[in-house]
Every structure is written in structure tokens, then in C-alpha cells.
Structure 1
Amino acid sequence: MKTLILPEVIKNNTSQFSFYEQLQFAKNRVDLLEKHRVQHSLRNNTEEYQLVFKLLPALIHYNFPELPAYVRGAPHGIYAFEKQDLPIDCISQILPKNFQLPEHKSPSVFDGMYVMGSIGSITQTSFSDLDIWLCYSTELSEEQLFLLNQKLEFVKYWAQELNVEVNFYLMNPKAFKAYQYHSDVTEEHNGSAQHFFLLDEFYRSAIRLAGKRILWLHVPESKLSYQKILDNAVKDNQLNLDEWVDFGDFSSLALGEYFGASLWQLYKGIESPHKSAIKILLLESYAENYAKTNLISKKFKNILLSEKEENYHFDPYLEMLDMVTEYLTTRKELQRLDRLRECFYIKAMEGQIDECKRSALLDLVKKWNWDEQKLELLDMRGGWKIKQAMLHQEMLVELLLQSYRNLIQFARKFHINPSILAQDTDVLMRKLYSIFEVVPGKIPLINRNIADNLSEDEVTFVEVCEGVSTKSGWYLVNHAPLSTYDSTTRHVQYQKNLTKLVAWAYFNGVITVTTQVYLVSQSIDLDTLRQFITDLRLHFPTEAPKMEFMDLYHPNEIRNLIVTVNLLKDPTRHLSASTKLDVSQINLFNLGSSEQGIIGQISIIYRNMWNEIMTQHFEGNDVALRALKFISNKIYRSSAPPKSVNVFSYSRLLRSELHKLVVELVGRCITVQTGSIFQRLPSQTLQVIGKKWHLVFDSHLALKDIIQEDENVTRKELIVPREICNFASEGFLQFFFEDNQDGSFQVYVLDKQNHVECYYCDGDKENKVKQLSLLYARNNEGQDNIGSFNFPQFYQLLKQNDAITIVPFQSRQHREYLALQQNSL
């Protein structure tokens, strides 16, 4: 990697620089660094990328109809931006012929515009986004913010048309320093999850595109506090703060931020696993050296402002690699170090590679003593198939979770209260739970960023009976049947039941419309298996819908549902076509007057609101009732009905009759729960294996409470507000706060199985949240679930106009409600 050479400072006398002189010296050094980084960013990149990079400041500074991204009345203008700053060769490409840009006369809204992240580093690729901090200090009204966001969306769209991704972050330095978070967690915004670590990344990688300089970069480290240095300089008239952007220093770096920052990196690891693995390991190395954490941004600044000659790369990603390498080497964790290097190499090798970067990476590879086989495997990542992709994902997940576990142990060691706000913890935990948590019935999905195409030309589903060295169940092998092979050792995937195995192969893209499917089984024929796969492909898309963050504030209710009947265990297979059957709806669960059920198996596949793919398999005499009870429990009260519901019957006989009956029962179950059609329906009595069962469809009672034997029908009274019952999700410890008029409050506590307890409390709720979080951590100390993401969730009941709504504790909705209540006093 090409380094930046900084010449030694030659002084005419031995006296120290005045603060003003120090600023002038620092300006020259920072200018050299930014020029160095811009050259690296633009070198060998596409013309489209260079055009976007150079014109972004102009599109933010000007707002004329002749320019892209014009929005009437939108805030615009960057401090000290001049027409001569415009790249003439670029601006002429987007302006009408002979059009002259007029002078910008209105006051500038924005203090500065900066790009940060991997831009200009060895890991910048043709796929790298441009992450832009757009800084402002003036108050913007709701209307102005709306118009500004419109303009920024138009700028992003213009860049997308040129195949460049741009992300804007509106930053108010004053609010940032005061920890005033005006945004909850979103796909790109980290809410309160990290503060100083975000600032560390900004300071170590920022390139000023236009506007004011970044003050912290120009002020050397000193025994005096950063704020004291500034106060003295202002007092001596050597510093005008209005000419600078200042996000503050790291004097208030909080221990609790390690927890939130680790959650955020795990979350980002869903889309960018290799980059996040590097960053979370950096956090771990920072924690190891607490409280003498040597932040990269501080190291860069010390070298940059040194008066000695320096020859240094100033590459934030190379420095992350060096710091984590030293940390893992000291701990003798060489396997994790090798995995880190794999992540770094893959991150740097994405997209088009110029010769300078390739040479720098090969120099690193030689130092790592990698053999040709390993290098070839990583270079061929685009051609990886399912086995290699699974191995790589397992490595990545373990690397991420091991750092997370270590940071949790660090938090416990120092008895840390997480600085992350409760609502941000909830939303991040729920997303991480949906991706990383292993629960029964869940289909593990391969990250699409690991390999492009996992489809196989041929696959064989093999049913195996219990043996001395084999588990009974279903095995998938990625080739056609062979005369002799051991499916249990050469298989790609094993599952206890066929439905889950097919779902795993389908949703991971292993089987597609072109895959040749084979079968080795005594329980199902190949035509039926192929029909099941076709039904799945035609009615359940593999591509998950884009999940909105508000979805994470709701229970993980069913979004798409498939119900299969008698796929494997079909009681009608053993009957002749001439067998006389009573096909009336009431007795259709039974074969004539016999004790044998006509439904031998029901399997359920569904995608929930958190985009998890879940399966459930039912066999036995009461299979239909248990399946209906399960569906009822997963359809939350007053929620929207699933977007798609499909029932498929694979019975040899009575196929259409069974299909019609199950469709009707599933439909009634859903509509009663969602309240979309039925308000009250008469109960229906079904004869199932010699017993009469009442199936009561009632919009006020859960099906699980009312499927009882006829002799013992009972109804449970709700002991908590109905809204809590409708909202609660299994798998989490949940706390719901309900305020009383005297300032006290109830806490409804639901465990992971949704069992309820209620407590009367007074005092500070925020302290209660911290105490409960610490209590949870202590109770789980030393347990194997330290990498689990089912941390406590906290919610607030809001009463407005005789209605109750539930929102995350300390969320924007909660804060706005409290402000409204305060104003009404």
C-alpha cells in the first residue's frame, strides 16, 4: 500500500508553536492526508464513480431546476463553498449547454460535508458505498427536514443510476455531543448503539469534501483536557469556533458503549459479515486495553501532527488489522487470527481489483504464510457451493459470536450498565435473534453475501431407518444416486423429517427449477416429492420481502403460510379405490367407523414478520387439532392476516375433500384471530379417534384455551390487558409497564413461554430497567447461552382516547407521548 510521506518540520527557533501556528501546521498536514486519500479513492475507479464523488458537494450546495435533485424550498448551501471549487469537466456533464450557475446568495445551511469509512483504504472496492456525514448547526423545521430528505433521496437516486450507492447521515455536532439521539435504530442508523466508536471511525477515516474543517484532527493531544485547550484558545483570540466543525473528544468514553457497539456490529454483520468481523474484533481489542484504550483515530492524529518525518499508510483498515493481529497474537489465538485474515482478504478482494491493491494484498499473504491452495479457495469464492458456503458461514458466525461473548464477559467484569437505550436494545436483539438464534423448527439460512449461486445440478433425498451407526430421518446428497455410498457421511444436510429438509434446500437455493431431483425412499414416490417442490416454488418465493424496522416492534406473526396434508403418512394409501367411505364433513377425520384417522400427517412451513423460515411437523391421531392449535397461537389478535395461505393435500384418495376441509378450518382459524371476517361462529363437533371434540371459533378466546374434550370445556379469564396478550412473543423475557395516576406503575412480566406475573412498583422505571438487565446478566453468568440474543425486552402501555397501544420503552413514540403529557399539565 502506498504510504504518505510527511516531511520533518524545520523551526527557525526552539520555541513551541502558538495555538494559531499549530492550527496552520495542522491544516497543511490534514490537507496532505485528504489529498492522499482522494487520489487512492479515485485511482482506477469508474468514470461514473469519479463523477458522483466530485459532484456531490455541488448537488448539496446548489438547488436549481437545471440540476439533478432539485426540490423547491429544500435547504441547501455549504459553508465557504465557491464556484471555483467546482470541477468544470464534471459539472458540464449535468448542466444544460451554455447554462451558467448563479451565485449562491442565501445563508448556507450546512457546516460541512465529509465522506467516511473504507473510502481511500485498501478495502475500498467498486461495491463500496459513499457514506456521507452532512453536518448542520441551524435549527430545521419539520417541513425543512421533509424537503431536505426529499432532496437527499433524489441525490441518492441520481447516484444509483450511475451504479454508485450513497448514504447520507444528517449530523448536528451540538446534539451529538449532548447525546441527543433523534433517530431510532434503522437499517443504516445505529441509534444510541454506539457513540464514541462511531466518532473514532469518523475521525480516523473522514475526508472533507466541502465546508468547515474538523477541529479535533487539528488539536494535538495534551495533558490539558481538550475542552480546556479550546477554551484557552478562544479566550486568547486564537480560535474562532464558528469556522470549525467539532464533535468533541473521547474524554467521556463510556464502558457501557462496548455492549451497544458489539450489538450494532453483529447487526451489520448480517449484510456485511466480513467487515463486521474485523470491527467487532477491534472492539474486543479496545476492551482488552481498557482504560488505556489506544484508539486508532488518536494514533493517526499523533503521527499526522508529529514534527518528525513520517512515512505511514494512514489506512484505517490496515491499522485495524495490525491492532487486532497484535491482540490475538498476544493471546495466542492463532486460529481466530487466521480467520480474521480471511475476512480481511475477502473484504479487500470484492469487485474490481487494480494492480496496486493486488500487489499490496499479495505482500500481506506472503507475511501470513498462506499456501496456494488456501489462496485459490478464497479467490474462487464466487463459485462456492453449499458445503463450502456452510463451512464459511459457520466460521463467520463463530468469529462474530466469540467476540460478542468476550465483550459480554468484559461488561460483567466491570459491572457495566449498557449505555444503549432500551428501545435500541430491543430492536437490535430481535433482529439478531431472528438471524443467529437456533430454535427448533427454524430453517438456518446461508448468508447471500457468502456465495452467489448455491444451486446444484443434481440432488438426492435419501430416507434412512434407524441403524447401529445411523440416525433415522432424511439426508440430502448433492449428486445422483450411486450404487454404493454412505449418505450419513457424505450428505450435505440432515433433518428428521422430509418437509424441513426440502424447505432447507429450497430456501437456500440448493434446488431450483433446473435441479434434477432423485429419491431413495419407501414412504413417498418421486412424483409426489417433485409435486411438493413445485408447489413450494410456485406459491412461496425464496426472496424475502424487505423488512421494515417497525416489523421488529411487533410479534413475529405469520406472513406466508403453507400447510401440507398426508405428504408422507397417507392412511388412504392402504385403501382400495372401491372402499366405501363416509365423506361427510363432520366425519371426514375418520376412515368410516374405524378408529383410524384419515389425516396421518400435517406439516407447516411459514415465514414470519422477522423473515425467519419456520417449520412444524405433526403426526398422530389428533394431528389436525394440534396443527390448528399451533396456527392459532401464531396468529396474533387483531393483526393483519397472512399475505398468503396455501393448503396442499397429497392423499391418494379423497384429496380434494381433505383439501377443502383443511382450507376451511385454517381459514376460520385465521379470520377469527385477525377479526377480519368472523365475529362469532357456532361450535363444531368433530369425531376424532373415538372422542368428541368441540372446535369453538370465538373472537374473544384463543383456540389453545378452548380445544378441550367435550366433558371438560373451560374458559380462562384474562388477567392482563388484552393488548399484552396480543402483542407478546414467545422466546423472550418481556416487561410491560402500565402507569397509574399516582405515579406508581404495574409491571407485567411474561417469561419465554408467555407465563404471566404482575407486580406493583414505584420509583424510577429507567433504574428498574437497568436493575433487571443486570439481574438477568448475573443469573445467566456462566451458562452456555451467553451468546444468546433473547435478552429482556421492555415496553410501555400508552393510554389515549380509551385505547391502549404498546410501544418499546424509551422509543420515539414513548418520548413523544411523555412530552405531550408534560405539555398538557
Structure 2
Amino acid sequence: MSAHQPLSIHQNLTIRLLRVLRYNKARTERALTLMPAKHKPLFHVLPFLVHVNHESLPGFVESTGEEDVPFGINNYSFRPDVEQALNHCFPEQQALFEDIKTIWPRQRAVDALVLMGSVGTIAQTDDSDFDYWVCVDGNRFSEAALALLQQKLTAIEMWAEEHHGIEIHFFLSEIDKVKQNDFGVAEGESAGSAQALFLKAEFYNTNIVVAGKAPFWWLTPEKTNNRQYTALHNSLEKGGSPDVDWFMDLGNLERLDASELFGAAIWQLGKAMDSPFKSLLKMAKLEVYLANIEHGQPLCNVLKKQVHRGAEAPGHVSDIDPYALMFDELIAHYKTNGQPEDVLILQQCLYLKCACKLSEPLDEGQEANFKRKILASYAKRWGWSRKTLYHLDNQQEWSFKQRVQLSTRIHRFLIKCYRRISKELSNQQQSLDQKDMTVLGRRLSTFYGKKTDKIEFLRSAFDVSLYCEKVTVALKQLKNGGEVWSVYAGDLLSKSGIIDESQKMAQASSAIGLMMWCVSSKVIDAKSTVYLDYNYGEISELDLNDLVRHLCKYLPAVKVSTLPRSDLLAPERIKTCLAIVNFPTLRQKAVVEDVAVLYTTTWGETFLKHGEEVLDNLWYELREVTPQPACHVMVPRGNQQARIIGQFMESSDISFNVLY
């Protein structure tokens, strides 16, 4: 062939395939580099457990009379590293692995096992989930057979969680449905109609083929329309080079659709309730997509172009990091269109999300891995000092106020983004399914909405680090007779007796409201100790600790993102009610003087109302419904406790369970 003769279509496809395989290998190596030693064997064991079905191994499912369990992964082979990992995880089954032919499947039900998400990128951390797509040809199997495969996958997930403490999600994906952008309803980990194309874009942008067929999308040029894509796919033949059987067709992704953006934005706000760092970056990405929707390319196509160019820059294929690529695009956008504050919060979130402590030196002789190199080059470019890095690396030393300030900035950015996206899209038709819209909208209203007497959620960016084993409560009497109750992180009394205002977490007009906020914000639980700074009134330290114990048991913290879909689609009703009698009054009197009523609803909201008439006003919601809400009553300890309970029960025709 002369030097000027152009390459044929198939020669081009073959060259691209080699570059994609090289990139896939680099991503796999990166994933293993960042994985803690205890999780590395799992990387090899999980695909094996999907591939075989044996009673001595996790994930075994018995075939029914009518249906065989689908298992076996296309093109999967038993390599020495797999055998080594299996012997590590199942030492008692060594004989089984030595004679592997006896359990090797004759069938191949799974076309591909593909990892997506942060694994193999700078965002991978020691506790990153493994999110796998288990790609099958849905036309080959009955619903009953697919249910058996799902049962097998769920059993493997549970084994990994129970024995290795790692969260695995297997998403059973039918290739034809994915091609048509059909991802089911919005529930749990699934985004449903909220963002089908965005989910596909995310998949193409981050996937690593662990075993089986590669998505054909990888072989097409980055600017391929649907007609060209189909023509290229149709040009492949069985036994050809490349062979059509090496690929699965999950469909093209020419451009993203503005009609999905609003649903995707609501979805991200919903996810932000659990992991704001990740959602902030994704919400920013949606805004960037919106800005480029007319002329821009989905990020996955930009990545693909870089991968295809791999040979022009030998060794540079390993520089392509989907997360860093996304981040560079975000920063470029907000530097031009945003405020300096937007850029800073994005930088801080990326750094904290990646959990790579640059202020801690490497061990002697240890070489920086790709993640540290990329993040160090960012920090240098941003002009961050070692002091800045030390501050971000040591969140455990932050005051409660500093943590809440960061959380507030994150949620402020999310809401600002959401409002700009909503405004921009106000005239656009949206593709979000009405029920999905209702479910996602109600979650957001529960988490962000303000209502009279509602106990608000602490919008945290942290999880465990806001939890306190000890808190100190202080009361300030106002001149007008009112009260301000404040709660501080830690036992401030035994330290110096001086209240440290930087540790202040919240204040409320009543002790009950304050303690309920602490429980619902996961700041304290039943194991925490509450200290009272000097007993001003009738409420004692013992009363506060009793109250917390009951709140944790009967009105525990709600995880808004996991509220059942069926509850959110039905009218809101009271789930649990707790009447607290005579909490702030003199304990010597045997009469009902004060009633506070706390109740939670099926939409995850908690309300606190004061006054004896509250129960009358709620009578229909408590009595005239099925199922009836659980109703409890608490009276603080004291000589008159039994009499007060008796009097309260007589005056109410609602049946209450008494808490002691």
C-alpha cells in the first residue's frame, strides 16, 4: 500500500479498537493501583462469580423446573490472577479451582460486565462503590430467567457487603432497552426518565470493560450522527476484522437533549442529600451542558476523540482521566461565566471528593501515583499553599461552624445552579415522567422546603464527622420571658466551664425542638451523652437524655433519598406521633399544664406544635385513618409522673403508648 493511499473503513476501526483496548487496560491498571489491598482480589473474583454458578460459591441460584439460571460471561477466560484471587477469598475451595472445567459454563448469558463511575479515575477512593452494568440480550431470556439472574447478582452484592465491607451494585441492563434509552423508573440508584441520555453519557464517559464485549460506540468517530453510526455497525461481519461479535450495540450518543436537563437537575439535587460533593460537580456539569447544548459535544465524545488520537502521543493515553477532563471543562466555564466563589467551591469539592492528602508526604522510596500527580498539578496551578492543603486534609480539626459553612456554600451553589437551569428551561418541553417528577419534587420539598413548625434538616456536606458523642446544651432567659436553647459540640463543661461559641451547632426556642433537630440531623443518637450547662429551670440533664433516647427510637433520623416511592405518590399522612407532657413545667404539680406534640409524616417531614388543642386539631389524622399512626406519650420522671399520665389519658380519646 502506498504512503498516500487512505486507510479503509475497517482498517480505521481496527486501529481505533487497539487504542480503545489500550485505554481500557490503562484504566483497569489505575483502578487496581488505587484499590486498597483488601479489595484487589474482589476485582477479579466478582466477574468470576457472575460467570459460574456453583453451590459452594456465593451467588449460587438453583434453577427452577421451568427456567435455567442465566450465567456465564462472553469471552471470559480463567487467568492466573483470577485463580490467585479465588484462592485468597476461598482457600477451602482450592480443589474446585484446580479442576476448573467441572464448573466452567457451557452457556454465555452475559454479553458484558462493565464498570462505570469513579473507579479508575482520580475520584476513586478507598470506599468507592463498584457500579457494574451486567449487559444481556433481553430477547434471549424470559422475565422469569432474568429474575433468577437478578437473584444471583443480589446474592453476590450481599456477600461482598457482608464479607468484604464493599458496596457493589449490579445493574441488569438489557442491551436493546439501553439502545432505546429506556432505564426504567426513578427509584433508588436508578434515574429513570429523569435523565436517560445523561445516564448513557455518564456510562460512555467512565466505563471500563471488565469482561465480555465492548460497546460499539467506542469505535465510531466522535462526531457521528445516528445514520452514520448504523451504517458503520452494519458494515461489520461475523469473522471479519473487527468482528461484529466482539461488540454490543448500546446505541449512539450524538447530542444531549435539553428536555432531560430539568429532570437531571432535580435528580442531582436529590442525590445531594447524601453526597453533595459529587452532586455539586455533576450539577455544574449539567449547567455546562446547557450552555453548550446547541454547538457543544457530550463530554464522552470529547474523551473518545482523545482516546482515538492515542497513538499520536505515545504514552499519553494514560493521561486521559474522565474526571479530570470533566473538571477542566467546568472550571473553564465558571471562570468565564461564574463568580470566583463558584470556581473556589468547585476546586475544594474536587479536592475533598478525591481524598488525596497532598499535605502528607509520600513514604521514602514511594512514587506518586497518577492521582497524586494530577491533583498536585491542579493545586500548584490554583496557587494553593501547603497551609491551605493542610486545612483541607484535616477536617477532623475543623470547628462545627467551619464544617457547616462549607456545607452551606455547597448547598447554596446547588440551589443557584438549579434556579439558573430552571429559568433557562422554563419554555422547554420536559421529558420527565409525571410520577418521577412528583417523587423527586416531594423529596426536594421535604429536604429543602420551609414550613411553619417544621424541624428543618441540617444540610450537611459531611456524614460521620458531624456526629457528636457528647453535646452541651445551654439555656438563655430573655427579658421578655422567652427562652433560647443552644447546643454545642462536645463536653464543654468539664473542659473550662466556658462555652466555646465556635462549637455552637444550633439554637431553638424550646429544648424539645433543639433535641429533635439534633436527632433528625444525625448530630446525636441514643449512644450520645447530653450535658446541661447549669440547671436554670425545671428541665434536668436526665430529662434531656431520656427525651433523646425516645426520639431516637420512635422518631429516628429520616434519609430523604430512600423514602418509599409509594409513600411520596400517596397523600401525606402522619406516621408517628409523640406527645410530651409537662416537659418545662414544675414537676410537683399533678395536673397537665403543658403539651408539646412531635409528629413525622410519610413524606419524611417532622413537625413540633405546642398546646393542648394540637391533639384536637390532629384528631382526624390520628384517629380516622387506616393504618392508624403510632401514638406515644412521655412525661418526665418525678413523683407525680403516674398521676399526670392518668390525667392526660383521661382527657384524650386517642390511645397512647406510655414511654418511661
Tell me whether the two structures share a fold, i.e. TM-score over 0.5: yes
Q: Which residue of 2 aligns with 1:744?
A: none
187-196 or 601-610, larger mean C-alpha shift: 601-610
Q: Which residue of 1 aligns with 2:329?
A: 323
Whether the aligned pair in 2 keeps the contact of 1:68 and 1:154 (CA below 8 Å) is yes
Q: Which residue of 2 aligns with 1:231?
A: 231
Whether the aligned pair in 2 keeps the contact of 1:52 and 1:164 (CA below 8 Å) is no
490-499 or 118-127, larger mean C-alpha shift: 490-499
Q: Which residue of 2 aligns with 1:303?
A: 306
CA distance in 1, matches of 2:326, 2:624: 46
- Find out whether 1:562 has 2:575 as its counterpart: no
Where do residues 670-681 of structure 1 align in structure 2 (5 Å cutoff)? none
Q: Give 1:376's match in structure 2, choosing from 382, 385, 390.
A: 390
Whether the aligned pair in 2 keeps the contact of 1:193 and 1:420 (CA below 8 Å) is yes
Which runs of no fewer than 5 residues in structure 2 stay unpaired? 64-68, 363-367
Q: Which residue of 2 aligns with 1:284?
A: 287
Q: Give 2:71's match in structure 1, choosing from 69, 76, 79.
A: 76
Q: Deviations over 1:437-456 (max 9, x none)?
A: 22232323344844425326
- Residue 328 of structure 1, CA deviation: 0.6
Change (3 A) 1:637 1:272: same
- Find out whether 1:530 has 2:536 as its counterpart: no
- Find out whether 1:268 has 2:271 as its counterpart: yes
Number of residue pairs the alignment of both structures matches:
623
CA distance in 1, matches of 2:502, 2:81: 64
CA distance in 2, matches of 1:407, 1:636: 43
CA distance in 2, matches of 1:229, 1:102: 40
- Residue 477 of structure 1, CA deviation: 4.7
Q: Give 1:395's match in structure 2, choosing from 409, 423, 439.
A: 409
Where do residues 640-651 of structure 1 align in structure 2 (5 Å cutoff)? 640-642=628-630, 645-650=631-636
Whether the aligned pair in 2 keeps the contact of 1:116 and 1:202 (CA below 8 Å) is yes
- Residue 433 of structure 1, CA deviation: 1.9
CA distance in 2, matches of 1:425, 1:263: 8
Q: Which residue of 2 aligns with 1:750?
A: none
CA distance in 2, matches of 1:490, 1:76: 55
Which runs of no fewer than 5 residues in structure 1 stay unpaired? 1-10, 578-597, 619-623, 672-825
- The DSSP-based 3-state class of the residue aligned with 1:230 is helix
- The DSSP-based 3-state class of the residue aligned with 1:135 is strand
- Find out whether 1:637 has 2:625 as its counterpart: yes
- Find out whether 1:51 has 2:41 as its counterpart: yes
- The DSSP-based 3-state class of the residue aligned with 1:97 is helix
263-272 or 89-98, larger mean C-alpha shift: 89-98
Where do residues 604-619 of structure 1 align in structure 2 (5 Å cutoff)? 604-618=597-611
Paired AA for residue 143 in structure 2: E
- The DSSP-based 3-state class of the residue aligned with 1:77 is coil
CA distance in 1, matches of 2:637, 2:60: 62
Q: Which residue of 1 aligns with 2:214?
A: 213
Whether the aligned pair in 2 keeps the contact of 1:464 and 1:475 (CA below 8 Å) is no
551-560 or 274-283, larger mean C-alpha shift: 551-560
CA distance in 2, matches of 1:514, 1:113: 44
- Residue 457 of structure 1, CA deviation: 4.4
CA distance in 2, matches of 1:331, 1:652: 63
CA distance in 2, matches of 1:383, 1:21: 58
- Residue 419 of structure 1, CA deviation: 0.9
Q: Which residue of 1 aligns with 2:643?
A: 657
Whether the aligned pair in 1 keeps the contact of 2:195 and 2:260 (CA below 8 Å) is yes
- The DSSP-based 3-state class of the residue aligned with 1:535 is helix
Whether the aligned pair in 2 keeps the contact of 1:200 and 1:295 (CA below 8 Å) is yes
Paired AA for residue 108 in structure 2: S
- Residue 669 of structure 1, CA deviation: 6.7
- Find out whether 1:462 has 2:459 as its counterpart: no
Where do residues 433-444 of structure 1 align in structure 2 (5 Å cutoff)? 433-444=445-456
338-347 or 225-234, larger mean C-alpha shift: 225-234
Paired AA for residue 100 in structure 2: L
123-132 or 260-269, larger mean C-alpha shift: 260-269
CA distance in 2, matches of 1:82, 1:169: 22
Change (3 A) 1:635 1:57: farther
Q: Which residue of 1 aligns with 2:365?
A: none
Higher helix fraction: Structure 1 or Structure 2?
2
TM-score with structure 2 setting the length? 0.85
Whether the aligned pair in 2 keeps the contact of 1:384 and 1:453 (CA below 8 Å) is no
CA distance in 2, matches of 1:488, 1:69: 53
CA distance in 1, matches of 2:46, 2:218: 23
Whether the aligned pair in 1 keeps the contact of 2:193 and 2:432 (CA below 8 Å) is yes
Q: Which residue of 2 aligns with 1:405?
A: 419
Whether the aligned pair in 2 keeps the contact of 1:48 and 1:163 (CA below 8 Å) is no
- Find out whether 1:335 has 2:346 as its counterpart: no
Q: Deviations over 1:522-541 (max 9, x none)?
A: 5x2243x5314313314533
Paired AA for residue 227 in structure 2: Q
Whether the aligned pair in 1 keeps the contact of 2:222 and 2:302 (CA below 8 Å) is no
Whether the aligned pair in 2 keeps the contact of 1:474 and 1:497 (CA below 8 Å) is yes
Change (3 A) 1:458 1:548: closer
Whether the aligned pair in 1 keeps the contact of 2:277 and 2:353 (CA below 8 Å) is yes
TM-score with structure 1 setting the length? 0.69
Paired AA for residue 436 in structure 2: D
CA distance in 1, matches of 2:2, 2:596: 85
Change (3 A) 1:631 1:283: farther
Change (3 A) 1:152 1:23: same
- Residue 154 of structure 1, CA deviation: 1.5
CA distance in 2, matches of 1:471, 1:351: 47
Where do residues 82-481 of structure 1 align in structure 2 (5 Å cutoff)? 82-83=77-78, 87-93=82-88, 94=90, 96-99=93-96, 100-102=99-101, 104=104, 106-139=106-139, 140-160=141-161, 161-181=163-183, 183-222=184-223, 225-231=225-231, 234=234, 241-251=244-254, 253-306=256-309, 308-309=312-313, 311=316, 313-349=319-355, 355-356=368-369, 357-412=371-426, 415-446=427-458, 447=460, 449-455=462-468, 457=470, 459-466=472-479, 473-477=484-488, 479-480=492-493
CA distance in 2, matches of 1:455, 1:510: 6
- Residue 566 of structure 1, CA deviation: 2.1
Q: Which residue of 1 aligns with 2:66?
A: none
- Residue 111 of structure 1, CA deviation: 1.3
Whether the aligned pair in 2 keeps the contact of 1:78 and 1:110 (CA below 8 Å) is yes
Whether the aligned pair in 2 keeps the contact of 1:268 and 1:276 (CA below 8 Å) is yes
Q: Which residue of 1 aligns with 2:21?
A: 31
Q: Deviations over 1:174-206 (max 9, x none)?
A: 11232444x322211111111111111111111
Whether the aligned pair in 1 keeps the contact of 2:137 and 2:176 (CA below 8 Å) is yes
CA distance in 2, matches of 1:669, 1:508: 29
Q: Which residue of 2 aligns with 1:496?
A: 509
Whether the aligned pair in 2 keeps the contact of 1:502 and 1:533 (CA below 8 Å) is no
Q: Deviations over 1:388-417 (max 9, x none)?
A: 3322221221121111111111211xx112
- The DSSP-based 3-state class of the residue aligned with 2:578 is strand
Whether the aligned pair in 2 keeps the contact of 1:61 and 1:76 (CA below 8 Å) is yes
- Residue 339 of structure 1, CA deviation: 0.7
Change (3 A) 1:451 1:165: closer
- The DSSP-based 3-state class of the residue aligned with 2:4 is coil
- The DSSP-based 3-state class of the residue aligned with 1:605 is strand
CA distance in 2, matches of 1:264, 1:609: 20
- The DSSP-based 3-state class of the residue aligned with 1:452 is helix
Whether the aligned pair in 1 keeps the contact of 2:153 and 2:170 (CA below 8 Å) is yes
- Residue 504 of structure 1, CA deviation: 2.0
Change (3 A) 1:67 1:395: same
- The DSSP-based 3-state class of the residue aligned with 1:78 is coil
CA distance in 1, matches of 2:243, 2:275: 41
CA distance in 2, matches of 1:651, 1:130: 50
CA distance in 2, matches of 1:506, 1:629: 26
- Residue 334 of structure 1, CA deviation: 1.0
- Residue 372 of structure 1, CA deviation: 4.3
- Residue 351 of structure 1, CA deviation: 9.9
